[in-house]
Structure 1
Amino acid sequence: MDFIDLKSQYAALRDNINARIQKVLDHGQYILGPEVKEMEQALAAYTGARHCISVASGTEALLIALMALDLKPGDEVITSPFTFAATAEMIVLAGGVPVFVDIEPDTANIDASLIEGAITPRTKAIMPVSLYGQVADMDAINGIAQRHGLAVIEDGAQSFGATYRGSKSCNTSTFGCTSFFPSKPLGCYGDGGAIFTSDDKLAQACREIRTHGQSQRYLHTRLGVGGRMDTLQCAVVLGKLDRFEWEIRRRLELGHAYRAKLSAAIPSLQLLAVRDDRDCVWAQYTVFVDDRDAVQARLKAAGVPTAVHYPRPLHHQPAYAQYAKAEDCPHSIAAAARVMSLPMSADLSEAQQEQVVAALSAALA
């Protein structure tokens, strides 16, 4: 089986996606064509945010959001070390300093109770990561930010479509940033991403930054980047939108089924907690295991692919080790040693899920 089954998804959407792509090929507006605005309007309506600004990738979304906040050299941004490198990478690239706060050991999301203690006079923003598809505790984080006059950027690369206390991921804070990398809950067929905000001035800043800081053609009013999302990739996302709500429901159902089946078959297996006031769209269905390498080898032999998101916290990566002590964030260190992701996509069949559960039960026996 595939770890993420994009082939079955395309088979179900082939006519719609092909028609969308052909329309772009026919009109030839490959940069900022009409599909870009159409996708932005559709996704803004979906999240409830006033603005959606499409960009070249989820990584670019984080960078542009930080630039729109006018991050200065030495400004601090509080985030989690248990995430993909892009989160801290963009803080450093924008001239900032990542300040790592540990995760909750049961959800793997940033521990909001530790954030206030990490705030200094140099703190500019908080960047929580909605890991594995579950939104972080945004009400608590926003409350802290409001008390200290800080912006909040949700790194929602894995959580688009998830709900937190009645709000959609990417519409819970100053900025929401997401990725349309092919393996994400809503993916294109290359790189793509989006920024969401309900602040008109910040939205305008993001639009200017993504086109080299232009407020109009050849008038560069601010520092910018070449950060546009291709029209063809927007067309692919539009081609997937009709099925997206169904896919989110399937992800929720499969997540509940995994929990029930794994709890019954392997009662000792540690599963990720999902808080009662939110859901999880399971960009990755991740469990905690000991002796991970051996378990993965047994699963591979049984025909079950796995992955690790992520095997090393950022403060243990050479590029970011200077920003924390090696012993800091012990829960992140522990999670990195034990997390393992199982096959997950909306088209995963019950028979495949049963195969995964049986193989994992045998591998852990």
Structure 2
Amino acid sequence: MEQKKICTGVIGAGAISDIYLKNMINRFDNLYVKSICAAHLESAQKKAQEYGIQAVTMEEMYEDPEICLVVNLTPAHVHYDVIKGALEHGKHVYTEKTLTDDINKSAELVQLAREKGLYLGSAPDTFMGAALQTARSAIDSGLLGEIHSFAVSANRNNDILLSLFDFLRKPGGGIVCDYAVYYVTALVSLLGSVARVGSIVGHPYPTHVNCVPGTPLYGQTMDTPNESQVNAVLQFENGVTGTFHIDADSVMEDQAYFTIYGTKGILILTDPNQFGGQVRFIPNAPDPADRKEPSVLPGVNEYSDNSRGIGPSDLADTLLNGTPLRPSAEMAYHVHEVLNAMLEGGATGRFTDIRSSCVRPEPLRYQFSHGAV
């Protein structure tokens, strides 16, 4: 029997589009990518020629009756208009993170999708990768015992990143919504909904000098209005509480420290911006003689490489088979509210209660392209 596919259009032809197109065309058998559009038609035409698909205008994509799913790969500051247009034309949507650059706009789109009976999914889908799904399996099996706390500490280098990517200088491009979103999504997928957040947010460098030769603004001073540091405390509905720190005014190579503490041991995770990496477990050993080196847990699925596109494939699986959507609008909105609370808390100095909640997504232990394992 021929594999059923969901006809899909892609909006956005930037750097991230290559891995999406490659995987959605060649890896995930439940997707048929028909067309691509972009703000600059020539960019869409280049990608279309490279991947053997059509280049169209956005209106042509919206009006195409064959296209059921739109995958939005545009920067966050234009998400609202792109997603709203797709929903109003009866298309299901999967979007890059975050839903929008404004929590009220995100709430409006979630409600619009609900009213129209459409699915709205959102990145990051890295929580469905081998590393975080292995961690999820360890937690669900009781390997850690009762979980009490977690710690996140990570870095980036804005001198380089802000020189390379202008969307990081636009609304929604700060370190909270562009990068902390990976960690918060990972935590929600592992531990459930967040109850309250308190934070201190830093923005010490309102301008940067472009330091990357060959880029359009090389050597020029750029306005960089977004936050670059966040220090927060998150308390989850189940009582688990932890610290959350990201400093984007540091070195280039991301150093991810991500640890969950339980009564039976400690789980050491990897960078949730990646799909793979080793997940290690340190068992509790009250007797020093019984202490062991951290053990590497075996992966529970095969998505250890760059598997972007797994989110749209999961949405296609929902449409074809009725499975619960893992990267759901409800989870994306909840994560966005948490991120927004971090930003607001940095301004007010108070803890913020999170009003929304979401269902923890189902585990993923199979490949969409090969069936259950």
Instruction: Kindly indicate which of the two structures has a greater share of residues assigned to strand.
Output: 2
Instruction: Kindly indicate which of the two structures has a greater share of residues assigned to helix.
Output: 1
TM-score normalised according to structure 1 size: 0.30
TM-score normalised according to structure 2 size: 0.30
